Amino acid sequence: MAELLERWLEAAAQDPSAAGPPPSTQDVLAQLAGDDPRVANLVRYMSLLEAQAAEDDEAEDEPEPPPPAYDTTEIRIAVRRLHAEVEQLRHRNDLLAAALGGCYLCWGEDPACENCAGRGRPGSSLPDARAFRACVLPAVRRVSATRRAAVPPTSPTEGAPQ
């Protein structure tokens, strides 16, 4: 038996935890073979197999390539469009709230509103005159005109006391 293996077996028998890892098969075979070239070739062959296996393991440990980069152009364009639309809607909201004298943040619907504490319904404050003329007055005139057109003209005698 190879000395290397004998020493390790003795050490393991006395204290398995102190014996350390067992000698490699190649080392034991090399010692057993002595000058036998056939066993020396076998040991070299086993070393090559081991090196190949280690190389394969390393290849498996390589990190995966990063995922393909996505083209975010369309998303960025959509976000820009939405942002512009929100800005436009905010402007209209603020203008209409000013025209109606209401809270531009919650229209009086949010008791936790930092602007009005839920008391900002339309008419809760004096409407902004310029915004009122721009937004509300045309609508009021339209309603008045429609009502006038719907009511038939009254004759001077109609409804008069007899």
Binding site for Zn ion (CB under 5 A): 103, 105-106, 113, 115-116, 120
CA dihedral 103, 107, 112, 113 (to 10 degrees): -30
Q: Which is nearer to Zn ion, 43 or 98 (CB)?
A: 98
Sign of torsion over alpha carbons 141, 145, 151, 154: positive
Distance CA 125, CA 115 (A): 12
Q: How far is the CB of 75 from Zn ion (least distance, A)?
A: 33
- 27/110 with CB nearer Zn ion: 110
Cα 85 to Cα 88: distance, rounded to the nearest angstrom: 5
Minimal distance, residue 107 CB to Zn ion, in Å: 7
d(CA 102, CA 104): 6
**Nearest-approach distance from CB 102 to Zn ion, in angstroms:** 8
Q: Length of the chain in residues, anyone?
A: 162
Do 95 and 130 meet the contact criterion of CB atoms below 8 Å apart?
no
Tell me how far, at minimum, the Cβ of 109 lies from Zn ion, in Å: 7
Structure tokens at 128: 């902004």
Closer to Zn ion by CB, 52 or 115: give it: 115
Minimum CB distance to Zn ion smaller for 50 or for 109: 109
